[in-house]
A and B are shown apart, each in its own frame.
Chain A
């Protein structure tokens, strides 16, 4: 019989080794996969995307910006641009590097795949919002055009990604950009968030933590050195101007007529309220489910049944008693006075 202490030691060693190899994102397998996947083609596709976004948002692009965006050295970035020109995807003139028609088509296809994947991750998976972009960055390079179309069909041919950006059509059509940066608005301005820039990740994380999503309605309170102070769906928030510059708002005054400040989760036991709408933070299956259960504008809901740990809560919705978790209830904006049906 073997020595039990030795056995335990060997076992502990094996566990440590397994963790080192398979740890999510930091493990050896994850690192090796990342290196293997970053092929020449992936670099080229990322560079095309970078150039295209420069044209679309009319921001200047340079070797430095490319190097920063795709995490390579300046020499490699210059080399990469040279190869784009060689293969006819881009051309250089005195002002810089521009995409050719072929290059633009190629870039649009990659952007389409990226945004479809983000839509997929948001609707069909429980991957966290901050991870959508990084996950899609990997997956966008893995599909053939027919596979992309199958994905689109399966998702019900979506038009917008979860950050509010339009998804280019299969034919390469992309509507022009609308809206202005949140940081450029003046006090009293009202509008709807239409786009949240998901790069860089640190800034986007801040936006997600604040609970901002496309279709959130905003009204500017002040805009100065301390940042932008504004109401987002009735909550007061302040964002530094760097972060605020990453949020695009379309001025739509008529949509801000009604701003709710409470959610279903705020209701006391026995209290009734009228649904105003479901937050756009709730998407995909979950949203469709809530709508189908009858949580549409104008529905009167009563918090009826408390559970031993106060989560979930049973709500009376159009005659049926439905249990919702606190986190879901917090995505349904309501008016606490049932008389105030607008």
Chain B
């Protein structure tokens, strides 16, 4: 065991306690390996190549940062691989960086693999040098060698290994090149066969070096066996509160592996801290700048010596040409609209058939079959009503309407994302969003919202600025999600289509729906602008947007990842919420209080207010009980209308949601229920402007950890919906 090992660990200790400290539990495995790296270095490709399908994603405890974990076996040993968030640095300036740093520091991985983009060695070395400051047990994975070769860049991996004094493996993870060597290198460091003694940046600015020297000497006086006093000194001088606390209470001695106990007395520790503070006064406020400058100067020098050739000018380099095209004034926007239109067309056209099949299977076939079985074994009516007509039907409805479009839309979107096109869209649109106090990437989360608002809210993680992210979360509901499209199309074709000549009906109703979607975008901009100037005035705001090189997306991996990450998670949440809602809907229609059912009471009670805002009681009650999913609003409205009319001719009984085969039948039922053109127009508006579904509300809470912002995100659109409907109704009546 070398005494020059890092502060954090010296032997293959398992670090259970430390993992617990950052809220992680360790799976049974022989070694724990962390994967660090800049964004866009092919880190996740390395991760996927190593773990294959043995992976799962979740969140870091208490943080809304995605954590991917997986396992693999090598040489008979089981290795747990943790994919850290992609960061440029470990300065803990963002949540991502904090998570990455805390894991390398306190999670005590047996090996930290740093994935490096061979075409941008100098930039990536910034992170490498920072990681090497914290840990000895590191392996550098020099990835994207294929791209480097294509660009005529030759990196000498051997020279880099000699410079950094840690194993360096050249790979091209896309093609599996170099992965066996990477596995062997990880194994070597994990087992202790290879003991790296990495390069530590020694020289920054003369003033800093002097202060570090003084502080280091004091630290070694207090803890003679402290393995990495220089690093501790640097952290103290940077004002790292965690390290300062560790010095103050003597816990730092416990971190030293050979345990010098509490070291010297409290007096010496207090004096040390006081001196460190004195030095900070003299060094500030350019200390941090000088530190980063020093690291980059080293990175530059190392890269100079290791990049032996290139980059060569490519004969055919498509990237700049592509960039000029997609960001050009005249071609950029039409291209963007075209791509978006194609994505939506594929989604809607492609989802149609499987949706109908699923509905046929789950609602028309399985439901009666189950009801038959229940009747046969003599289940009481209330029980089969509650479970089959309530819970089962609501869940089946949500699945059949929601699953197919999501299973098509999300992978398409992920493919675009991976190709590098979407960041360019954010780049083009940023000025519009900037004027509303938002981030260009909100264009992407907004588009995602057209698929599903809950997924759109999760997607806002790509926005790394707190204020802009909150704005994107709160305004996502203004994207008309695919659960609302069917309602829009149905109501528009019945009522809007009817007021124009028959041959124009299709066009009129389609334009009405598109108009509502465009209105939603307008509302999104308006409320972003409003929020950034009022409620969110005080939240922090930063901007930077990397435009990664174009890369051909990996279709199969994308399909798998987007199914797991987005589709299934969102679907699961929707089901969790839809099932109890089904029960509530059935119960409200079947529990009678003094004659009428609860639902009828609610309809009667809410009707005056509903009529005032140009809707009616049935619609309000439907939106109230069908809060888990917009998909079941129309079936609920139909069921409630029948209930309110007391008409047994259509429908399947109290509390059983249903749809009618023809739009005309729906139209005559609704007209019988008192619907006018105004009701229809206001329903279209209210379907756009109302509270997000409960799946989305829950997701917003999970993403913001804040009751306040969740309330704002819920109440603001609802209030806007009532106001808009009210105004439309009054003006309508005034003119009529």
Which residue numbers of A lie inside 8 Å of B, CB to CB? Answer: 1-2, 4-5, 7-8, 11, 24, 121, 123-127, 153-154, 156-160, 166, 169, 175, 214-215, 277-278, 284-286, 288-294, 296-299, 305-309, 311-312, 314, 317-325, 328
Given contact pairs A290-B544, A323-B544, enumerate 13 new A-B contacts (beta carbons under 8 Å).
A2-B612, A4-B729, A175-B281, A285-B542, A288-B93, A298-B297, A305-B324, A308-B332, A312-B440, A319-B121, A321-B549, A322-B545, A324-B543
Is the CB of B289 closer than 8 A to any CB of chain A?
A: yes
Inter-chain contact A308/B329, CB cutoff 8 Å: yes
Q: A residues within 8 A CB of B327?
A: 305-308, 314
B727 contacts which chain A residues (CB < 8 A)?
8, 11
A294 to B546, CA, bound (A): 13
Cβ of B244 under 8 Å from chain A: yes
Contact B93 A5 (CB under 8 A): no
**CA separation between A160 and B287, bound complex, in Å?**
12
Closest to B736 in A: A4
B611 touches A1 (CB 8 A): yes
Chain A CB within 8 A of B293 CB? yes
A174 CB to closest chain B CB (Å) equals 10
Asked if B267 lies at the interface with its beta carbon under 8 angstroms from chain A, I say: no
Question: Which residue of chain A has its CB nearest to the CB of B547?
Answer: A321
CB under 8 Å from chain A, chain B span 91-149: 91, 93-94, 117, 119-123, 126
Interchain CA distance A239-B658 in the complex, whole Å? 76
Contacts of A325 in B (CB 8 A): 430, 434, 543
* Contacting residues, chain B, for A7 (C-beta < 8 A): 612, 726, 730
Give every chain A residue within 8 A of B723 (Cβ-Cβ).
11
Residues of the B chain whose Cβ atoms lie less than 8 Å from the Cβ of A175: 281
From the candidates B40, B126, B434, B542, name the one contacting A286 in the complex (CB within 8 A).
Answer: B542
Minimum CB–CB distance from B296 to chain A (whole Å) comes to 5
Binds A, one of B234-242, B369-377, B565-573, B701-709: B234-242
Alpha-carbon distance A313/B292, docked complex (angstroms): 24
- Are the C-beta atoms of B431 and A307 separated by less than 8 Å? yes
Q: Which residues of B contact A214 (CB under 8 A)?
A: 285
- Closest 9 A/B residue pairs (Cβ): A319-B120, A292-B89, A157-B239, A288-B93, A4-B733, A318-B123, A323-B545, A4-B730, A153-B241
- Residue B541 CB within 8 A of the other chain: yes
Known contacts A5-B734, A159-B281, A159-B285; is-contact A292 B88 (Cβ 8 Å): yes
Q: Say whether B265 faces chain A, with CB atoms less than 8 Å apart.
A: no
Closest Cβ of chain B to A274, distance in Å, is 13
C-alpha spacing A317/B542, complex, angstroms = 18
0/1 interface trace, chain B 527-550, chain A, CB 8 Å (1 if under): 000000010011111111111110
**Which of A159, A285, A299, A311 lies in contact with B280, CB distance below 8 A?**
A159
Query: Looking at A154, A156, A290, which has the most chain B CB atoms within 10 Å of its CB?
Result: A156
Cα A123 to Cα B117 in complex, Å, equals 31
Q: Chain A contacts of B328 at CB under 8 A?
A: 308
Check if B544 sits within 8 Å of A293, measured CB to CB: yes
The answer for the CA separation of A47 and B649 in the assembled complex, in Å, is 80
Q: B208 to nearest A CB, angstroms?
A: 14
Q: Could you list some 26 contacts between A and B, CB below 8 A?
A: A7-B726, A8-B730, A125-B539, A127-B538, A157-B244, A160-B284, A160-B285, A284-B540, A285-B540, A288-B288, A289-B93, A290-B544, A293-B88, A296-B289, A296-B292, A299-B296, A305-B324, A308-B328, A309-B431, A314-B427, A318-B122, A320-B548, A321-B546, A321-B549, A322-B545, A322-B547
Query: B244 touching A126 by the CB < 8 A rule?
Result: no
Q: Determine the chain B residues whose CB is within 8 A of the CB of A124 once the complex forms.
A: 540
Q: How far is the CA of A11 from the CA of B612 in the complex (A)?
A: 12
The CA of A311 and the CA of B427, in the complex, are separated in Å by 9
* Residue of B292, B611, B727 with most chain A CB atoms under a 10 A cut-off: B292
Interface check B277, CB cutoff 8 A: yes
Task: Check A126–B296 contact: CB distance below 8 A.
Answer: no
Please report the number of residue pairs spanning A and B whose Cβ atoms sit closer than 8 angstroms.
Answer: 174
- Is B387 positioned at the interface, with any CB of A under 8 Å from its CB? no
Nearest neighbor of B295 in chain A, beta-carbon distance: A296
Query: Are B543's CB and A328's CB within 8 A?
Result: yes
B731 near A: Cβ within 8 Å? yes
Residues in chain B near residue A121, CB distance under 8 A: 538
Residues of chain B at interface, number, CB under 8 A: 71
Write the chain B residue with the least CB distance to A156: B239
Tell yes or no: B333 within 8 A of A by CB. Answer: yes
Contact indicator per residue, chain B 253-292, by CB within 8 Å of chain A (1) or not (0): 0000000000000000000000001001100111011001
**With a CB–CB cut-off of 8 A, which chain B residues contact A278?**
289
Q: What is the distance, in angstroms, from A279's C-beta to the closest C-beta of chain B?
A: 11
CB of A5 to closest CB in B, whole Å: 6
Shortest Cβ distance from A333 into chain B, in angstroms?
13
A294, closest chain B residue (CB): B123
Q: A124-B540, A294-B123, A297-B293 are in contact. Are A8 and B734 (CB under 8 A)?
A: yes
Chain A nearest CB: distance from B165 CB in Å? Answer: 23
**A320/B289 in contact, CB under 8 A:** no
Which of B422-440 touch A at CB < 8 Å?
427-428, 430-431, 434, 440
* A285 to B98 CA separation, bound complex (whole angstroms): 13
Known contacts A160-B284, A285-B94, A311-B431; decide if A169 and B277 are in contact (CB<8 Å): yes
Cα separation A320 to B539 with both chains bound (whole Å): 28
Report the bound CA distance from A305 to B333 in whole Å. 16
Residue from B293, B465, B548 with most neighbouring chain A CB atoms (10 Å): B293
B residues in contact with A125, CB < 8 Å: 538-540
**Is A289 within 8 A of B542, CB to CB?**
yes
| Residue B43 is within 8 A (CB to CB) of chain A in the complex | no
The CA-CA distance from A70 to B538 in the complex, in Å, is: 25
A311 to B329: give the CA distance in the assembly, Å.
Answer: 12
In the complex, chain A residues whose CB is within 8 Å of the CB of B611: 1
Q: How far is the CB of A248 from chain B (nearest CB, A)?
A: 15
Residues of chain B lying within 8 A (CB to CB) of residue A153: 241
Name the B residues within 8 Å of A160 (CB-CB).
Answer: 284-285
State how many angstroms separate the Cβ of A265 from the closest Cβ of chain B.
14
Identify B241's interface contact among A2, A157, A293, A324, CB under 8 A: A157
Contacts of B537 in A (CB 8 A): 126-127
* Chain B residue with Cβ nearest A314: B547
Known: A160-B284, A291-B289. A126 touches B122 (CB 8 A): no
> Does B467 sit within 8 A of A, measured CB to CB?
yes
Identify the closest chain A residue to B97 (Cβ).
A292
Cβ–Cβ contact B540 & A126, under 8 A: yes
State in angstroms the CA–CA spacing of A319 and B88 once bound together.
13
A297-B91 Cα distance, complex, nearest whole Å: 18
Q: Min CB distance, B297 to chain A, in Å?
A: 7
Q: Which residues of A contact B540 (CB under 8 A)?
A: 123-126, 284-285
A290 to B544, CA, bound (A): 8
Contact A320 B730 (CB under 8 A): no
Query: Chain B 224-243, CB within 8 Å of chain A: the 1/0 string?
Result: 00000000000000111100
Closest to A158 in B: B239
Query: Which residues of A have CB within 8 Å of B733?
Result: 1, 4
Contact of B734 among A4, A284, A297 (CB under 8 A): A4
Chain A nearest CB from B42 CB (Å) reads 14
Cβ contacts under 8 Å, B417 to chain A = none
Q: How far is the CA of A243 from the CA of B120 in the complex (A)?
A: 48
Within 8 A of A (CB), among B713-736: 723, 726-727, 729-734
Bound together, the chains give a CA A278 to CA B293 distance in angstroms of 12
Say how far B209's CB is from chain A's closest CB, in angstroms: 17
Q: Which residues from A are CB-within-8-Å of B239?
A: 156-159
Whether B323 is near chain A, meaning CB under 8 Å from some CB there, is yes
A116 CB to closest chain B CB (Å) equals: 13
Query: Roughly how many angstroms separate A126 CA and B427 CA in the complex, as a whole number?
Result: 22
Partner of A288, one of B91, B428, B465, B729: B91
Contact with A along B589-617 (1 / 0, CB 8 A): 00000000000000000000001100000
Q: Is the CB of A324 within 8 A of B427?
A: no
Contact of B430 among A126, A154, A312 (CB under 8 A): A312
A305 and B323 within 8 A (CB): yes
B430 touches A323 (CB 8 A): yes
Q: Which residue of B lies closest to A278 (CB)?
A: B289
Most buried by A among B300, B328, B333, B540: B540
